[in-house]
Amino acid sequence: MALRKIRIMGDPVLTKKCKPVKEMTPRIQELIEDMFETMYMEMGVGLAAPQVGILKRIVVIDTDGTPRVFINPEIVEKADEQTGNEGCLSLPGKTGIVTRPNYVKVKALDENMEEFTLEATELLARAVCHECDHLDGVMFTNHVEGELMDVESLEEEE
């Protein structure tokens, strides 16, 4: 396993649509392991392959101590709303207010290329939406209501 360089907003790879994964290969398995290691090192809750420069439809998420892999994820249902602060490893030090669904149903393949469906709420639903956006070249900044804020200024308010 190895840490991968996280691409920062402005890198053209972050604006491109990713290609579906057709089969599990040793390189893709290694990518998934590296993505988890990189996400944990940066203290994130989710990471999409384009954030490490790979245009594949792969997302890793861990909001609650349960590492999850989503290959070729597709959000098939959304309901309700939640509004809150959101940040991104590709835009370090910044946060913004974003409204997302409070419930999503996502269909994807796991690391064994077996299909599964997951129903997610709250932070996990937010993370699924955020990371799936990355696979279509969309940054959270496209959804920010108002101005981006510095993370430090939020910490000072608390």
Q: pLDDT-derived band of residue 154, with 50, 70 and 90 as boundaries?
A: low
Separation CA 128–CA 130 (nearest Å): 6
What is the per-residue pLDDT for 155?
Answer: 53
What is the per-residue pLDDT for 28?
Answer: 98
* CB atoms near residue 38 (< 10 Å): 21
CA distances from 74 to 10, 30, 55, 105 (A): 26, 23, 16, 9
Record the tokens describing residue 29, joined without a space: 């398995």
Q: Which residues are 68's β-sheet partners?
A: 61
Q: Where are the domains of the chain?
A: 24-154
Give 75-116 pLDDT, tens digit per residue.
999 999 999 999 999 999 999 999 999 999 999 999 999 999
Given a cut of 70, whether residue 120 has pLDDT beyond it is: yes
What is the per-residue pLDDT for 105?
Answer: 98
Topology, domain 24-154: Peptide Deformylase (3.90.45)
CA within 13 Å, CB half, 90: 26
What is the per-residue pLDDT for 126?
Answer: 98
**Verdict on whether the full-model pTM lies above 0.85:** yes
Instruction: Give the active site residues.
Output: 131
Extract the annotated binding site for Fe cation.
Answer: 88, 130, 134
What is the per-residue pLDDT for 1?
Answer: 72
Q: pLDDT-derived band of residue 37, with 50, 70 and 90 as boundaries?
A: very high
Contact (Cβ atoms closer than 8 angstroms) between residue 103 and residue 129: no
What is the per-residue pLDDT for 133?
Answer: 98
Q: Which helix (H) or strand (E) holds 128?
A: helix 122-135
**Where does the chain show beta strands of DSSP type E?**
46-48, 58-61, 68-79, 82-87, 94-100, 103-109, 115-121, 145-150
Extract the annotated binding site.
Answer: 88, 130, 134
Query: What integer is the mean pLDDT of 12-29?
Result: 98
Mean pLDDT of the chain: 95
What is the per-residue pLDDT for 152?
Answer: 74
Q: Which helix (H) or strand (E) holds 27?
A: helix 26-41
Give 47-57 pLDDT, tens digit per residue.
999 999 999 99
